[in-house]
Amino acid sequence: MARTLIAAGNWKMHKTSQEASVYAEAFLNSVGNFRQVEIIVCPPFTSLPLLSQKLAASPVKLGAQNMHWETKGAFTGEIAPAMIKEFRCDYVILGHSERRHIFRETSQEVGQKVQTALNWGISPILCVGETLEEREKGKTESVVAEQLLQGVDAVPLDKASHLVIAYEPVWAIGTGKAATPADAEEVIGFIREKLSQKFNRDVAQKIRILYGGSVTPENVFEFVVKPEIDGTLVGGASLDPGKFWKIVEETYRASQNK
Ligand code: PGA
């Protein structure tokens, strides 16, 4: 079945809102009314108010990079779902490897966030992926399955198709060493199989599964042309509006060749 491909940019801790404004102007000039690929920009929280205005009339969607599983309360430094929803976030990245490894988020916490996001009508971009050590020990599938199944544990069948999963091998993130398209396709096929067992085949066929890790305008085509890969989650290369637009264009070109 044809799933709409996604090009999602994760800015991580980059760009002030002033820099985001300059980016938005340049990027929107390229995007115009292009809707063949779903484009998602995930800036730091501080740029959401400005970008929600600048992007309002465009096809570009907004995502946050994290949120808390509770809806309000004494959680100093955290952000609630209503606070990102207020600024038109249709998506939220959850369980990114930097959150798991630097900030010690557990799969169980990520699962709580996934559930809360869906309750608020925000689609989670749930990130999963193994470290180099885990890959070398042959543990890729068990690690990915654990992160995935705990992440979607409390997701009801009727909301499951709103999930987006990103397979991001930790060793490929920010290293310039992307996975091979064949390896990414294999793990993503495995993820779809697990989703099919957890939900059902129809639902699993609707869930978009992305690849992330050192995606560039030069290599994106080879990934997204693969039948199981429904787009990319892009860090470094999304920080430049010209490069990110090229990634969108290449994603579209691949969609014509699938
Ligand atoms: P990268 O980051 O494209 O810079 O490797 C990807 C990510 O962390 O989502």
Residue of the CA atom closest to atom 6 of ligand 1? 235
Once rounded to an integer, what is the mean pLDDT over residues 51-80? 98
Q: Render pLDDT for 82-133 as a digit per residue (tens, 0 to 9).
A: 999 999 999 999 999 999 999 999 999 999 999 999 999 999 999 999 999 9
Ligand 1 pocket by C-beta < 6 Å: which residues?
Answer: 10, 168, 173-174, 212-215, 233-237
Please tell me the residue having the least CA distance from ligand 1 atom 3: 235
Over residues 4-13, the mean pLDDT reads: 98
Q: Distance, CA 86 to ligand 1 centroid (Å)?
A: 26
- Residue 99 domain-assigned (yes or no): yes
31-53 confidence digits (pLDDT tens): 999 999 999 999 999 999 999 99
Would residue 1 count as lying in a domain?
no
pLDDT at 1 over 70: no
Average pLDDT over residues 66-75: 98
In three-state form (DSSP H/G/I as H, E/B as E, the rest C), the secondary structure along 107-136 is: HHHHHHHHHHHHHCCCEEEEEECCCHHHHH
- Nearest-atom number in ligand 1 for the CA of 214 is 5
Ligand 1 atom index nearest CA of 237: 3
Specify if 89 maps to a domain.
yes
From 98, 233, 239, 247, mutation site for ligand 1 pocket: most ligand atoms within 8 A of C-beta: 233
Q: Locate tokens 């009314």: which residue?
A: 33
Q: Is residue 209 part of a domain?
A: yes
pLDDT, one tens digit per residue, over 221-252 is 999 999 999 999 999 999 999 999 999 999 99
* Length of the chain, in residues: 258
Ligand 1 centroid to 238 CA: how many Å?
A: 9
Q: What CATH number is associated with residue 145? A: 3.20.20.70
pLDDT band at residue 198, thresholds of 50, 70 and 90? very high
Query: Has residue 52 been placed in a domain?
Result: yes
Q: Collapsing DSSP states into helix, strand and coil, what is residue 213?
A: coil
Q: How far does residue 37's CA lie from ligand 1's centre (Å)? A: 19
CB atoms under 10 Å from CB of 196, counted, come to 15
Which atom of ligand 1 approaches the CA of 238 most closely? 3
Is 21 a member of any domain?
yes
Domain carrying residue 25: 6-255
Region for 166 from its dihedrals, namely left if φ exceeds 0, alpha if ψ lies in -120 to 50, beta otherwise: beta
- Torsion angle, CA of 167/203/208/119, rounded to 10 degrees? -90
Number of domains within the chain: 1
How high is the pLDDT of residue 164? 98
Which one of 98, 109, 134, 168 is the catalytic residue?
168
Structure tokens belonging to residue 70:
């509770």
- Backbone Cα Rg of the chain: 17
Q: Which of 38, 96, 228, 249 is catalytic?
A: 96
Residue 168 designated active-site: yes
SS3 68: coil
Q: Which of 8, 12, 214 has its CA nearest to residue 103?
A: 12
Per-residue pLDDT reduced to its tens digit, 158-195: 999 999 999 999 999 999 999 999 999 999 999 999 99
Q: How far is the CA of 234 from the centre of ligand 1 (A)?
A: 5
